[in-house]
A and B are shown apart, each in its own frame.
Chain A
Amino acid sequence: MFDFIKDNLILNDPMLIGANISILLSVIGIVFILTYFKKWKWLWTEWLTTVDHKKIGIMYIIAAIVMLFRGGVDALLMRAQLTVPNNEFLTSHHYNEIFTTHGTIMIIFMAMPFVMGLMNVVVPLQIGARDVAFPYLNALSFWSFFFGAILFNISFVFGGSPDAGWTNYAPLAIEGSTGPGINYYLLGLQISGIGTLLTGINFIVTIIKMRAPGMTLLRMPMFTWTSLVTAFIIVFAFPVLTVTLALMTFDRIFGTHFFTLADGGMPMLWANLFWIWGHPEVYIVILPAFGIFSEIISAFARKTLFGYKSMVISIVTISFLSFLVWVHHFFTMGGSAAVNSVFSITTMAIAIPTGIKIFNWLLTLYKGRIEFSVPMLWSVGFIPTFLIGGVTGVMLGMAAADFQYHNSYFLVAHFHYTLIAGTVFACFAGFVFWYPKMFGHKLNERLGKWTFWFFTIGFNVCFLPQFLLGFDGMPRRVYTYGPEDGWTGLNVISTIGGIGMGIAFMILVYNVYYSFRYSKRETTGDVWGNGRTLEWATTTAVAPHYNFAVVPEVKGYDAFWLMKQEKQKEKIEYKPIHMPSNAGTPIVMSAFFFVAGFGLVFKLWWIAILGGIGVLACLAVRSLRSHKEDEGYYVSVDEILKTEEKKEA
């Protein structure tokens, strides 16, 4: 055992030793603080075992921000390496590991959980529900995502990281990469994928079955609509990923021949399966972003969203199309002209519904009384930036042209324009917009504006030059280049932009601290003063776990806006509210998933079996105890009165 640890701890690189030590110190620090302030019990009952969707959402968002930090450090390391020619800051192997972990973390462990965090906090409130349909399952979703992420992340200090790109193409990932790195990728994604699938199921049922009386499908807020469509994409796309990862896990661990070169395996099968999941995955992170922008733009333009129905139709259309375009990711890998043409056309077709949405946002802004608060800045900034990403996407979608752009920095620039201007801008916008709902006070506006400008300018400075680098022939995933290539100038500019984004991130984190200390506490619930949807009808901050003291009655689209128009003040009679009880099994079960995954990564069978037994035992315990846990408890009228009075004051 000791040898095993010694062999796998990575101690040959000063940077990683530094990382090891800082991780160890942070863990000791956290344990010390929790013990010193006697917070263990609080942590356990208030957070680790919670089934409250708002708290689960907050934990998702915190984890996503930590992952944004990790992915961002990876990004800056890459940019540092590429700034000057013939740089020896990173070795080629280390560079491979870093672009792999960067891409994987940003998409799977940052963008998706961030979006799901916001969904968790907001969607049940928007539809006037007390909770999600399956609160227990929701906790399980979060914890399996969390432990999947940890499993993936420890690879860089223990055993070595995956290094075959976030697309993990076969046969490279099977025969070209020894060591446990790829196993970490396969099992980390697999475990967190369970959580994603459960979230998908949970939100479909929640949105379809738990809407407040009067909230018809066509009165649902836009963010709820996009979450519903996203949940459907998840339910049909994630099982494909599950199978795909399992197949390669078998290839690597049990010697099967699905994707090998020898014995009948088909490496192209991996590419197909991966992208059948992978392209819809892109829409899993972008559609909710569209929803967030729709809410914010209509709130701060003080107008109903323009073209609501066409918005709904276009997101549904996009979700269908997203399953029909996957081949555009490998036009150059030997598909026939006919196949490439078909997929080229389906790809370009996506631009149509997307274009409709852009016009709807613009027309919502038109003649609105616009207030440029921080969430609105992100939303308005998104439109032109995302347009660049979209237009370059159509360029890439033309199969013939793709032979030119493929695997060049043009592609890198394109997908950062879509992913960052789309998803990351939306995450920031939603974070600031709903922050008071979560924590009871606003973030500081001035600091927020600094973040916005540093980030947006830094972003464009970083990625615009990369389009040009692509035209100049700089390939993707290259770890260094020579002075004679003539790429130096643009790379320097790009790195400067990257630093700008890093600074923006630090301001954001500082803002959280600053606002916690100095911001005015909110009491009304409708903190921006122009809330249109039901989440603004509840008391502010996470405190009332029952969401609504009385289930609201919905009279039309923009339900809360209409309520405010009516201003009825009748005496409300409260009834006791039923809530589900906390549960410890989700975190324990996910921990066992982690143990099983770790055992498989290193082919330590006894650990894997131990973990597997633990998981089964937890399932059995849950099955036998579910009637007790689902019974829950009642919030008394007294307690409701107390909470609601605080709001009035």
Chain B
Amino acid sequence: MAHVNENISPDTPLEYQSGIGRLNIFGFWIFLGAEMALFATIFATFFVLDGHTGGGPLPSELFDLKNTLIMTLLLLTSSFTSGLAINEMRRKNVKSMIVWIVITLLFGLGFLYMEITEFIHLVHEGATLGTNAFWSGFYFLTGTHGLHVSLGIGWIILIVLQVIKRGLTPDTAKKVFISSLYWHFLDFVWIFVFTGVYLLGLVGS
């Protein structure tokens, strides 16, 4: 890694300026490829087990369109604000970048709050992890996504702390950039959850 501290040109975005930053960003794209394979497998499992409800409550009885619409809206907006944060970062506005990141995190927390209350409600209605294969698949899929969101929130908080302490350097900029890629990815996955699980679940059976 001879080129760790090499700068290319002042015009390239900060996060691409160090050799290690370029490697990390490329590596993260590959990681997202693996994440894609991961979620594809979970979706496949969910669809294979779709309808295997033997006895328990049906999704169409329990899903609440309004609730999920709000969740979707929260996450979509957070993806947008995360984009704004990157935009501010490119313009070297550290303060407003942090503000947008914090707003993003708040939307994320709101999403998590709604997801957890939904789970509690579902369990209350008799749809638990162990009720049948369909609900197992449902919780596994949404749970994996929710876990990703939670980890993302913790991680981004750590990054914000670093930016506050060390300012915007090629290193911290790279981290902010990568975490926003991650955040968009989670949003992307959620769109499939929303249509594939909730909308189809409400329509079907």
Contacts and interface: CB of A to CB of B under 8 A. Distances in A.
Interface of A: 130-131, 133-135, 197, 200-202, 204-205, 208-210, 235-240, 242-244, 246-247, 250, 254-258, 260, 262-266, 269, 273, 551, 577-580, 616, 619-620, 623-624, 626-627, 630-632
B89 to A, nearest CB: 17
B1 A269 contact: no
A235 B171 CA distance: 26
Given A236-B34, A257-B133, 16 more contacts: A130-B2, A208-B26, A235-B33, A239-B41, A243-B38, A246-B140, A254-B130, A256-B136, A256-B139, A257-B136, A258-B45, A263-B54, A263-B131, A265-B52, A577-B2, A578-B4
Interface residues of chain A: helix, strand, loop or mixed (majority): helix
A285 B30 CA distance: 21
B136 A235 contact: no
B122 to A, nearest CB: 15
Given A133-B23, A235-B33, A630-B20, A269 B129 contact: no
A637 to B, nearest CB: 14
Contacts of B22: 209
B34 A197 contact: yes
Nearest to B27: A205
Contacts, number: 137
Interface in B146-183: 154-155, 158-159, 161-162, 166, 169, 171-172, 175
Contacts of B159: 623
A264 B52 contact: yes
Given A247-B45, A273-B41, A577-B2, A256 B27 contact: no
Nearest to B5: A578
B2 A205 contact: no
Given A130-B1, A201-B30, A255-B130, A269 B48 contact: yes
B178 to A, nearest CB: 11
Given A133-B27, A205-B23, A263 B1 contact: no
B10 interface: no
A250 B20 contact: no
Interface residues of chain B: helix, strand, loop or mixed (majority): helix
B31 interface: yes
B123 to A, nearest CB: 13
B134 interface: yes
A627 B171 contact: yes
A135 B137 CA distance: 37
Interface string B5-36: 10000000000000010111011001101110
Contact of B162 (A210, A580, A624): A624
Contacts of A264: 49, 52-54, 132-134
Contact of B158 (A200, A201, A235, A620): A620
Contact of A134 (B23, B162, B169): B23
B108 to A, nearest CB: 18
B33 A236 contact: yes
B134 to A, nearest CB: 6
30 contacts: A130-B2, A134-B23, A201-B30, A205-B27, A209-B26, A235-B34, A239-B34, A240-B38, A255-B130, A256-B129, A257-B132, A257-B136, A258-B49, A258-B133, A258-B136, A258-B140, A260-B133, A263-B131, A263-B133, A266-B52, A269-B48, A273-B45, A616-B154, A619-B155, A620-B158, A623-B162, A624-B158, A624-B161, A627-B169, A632-B4
A262 B158 CA distance: 44
B39 to A, nearest CB: 8
B37 interface: yes
Interface string B59-81: 00000000000000000000000
Contacts of A247: 45, 140
B1 A632 contact: yes
Contacts of B171: 626-627, 630
Given A255-B130, A263-B55, A578-B1, A239 B27 contact: no
Contacts of A243: 38, 41-42, 45
Contact of B23 (A209, A235, A246, A260): A209
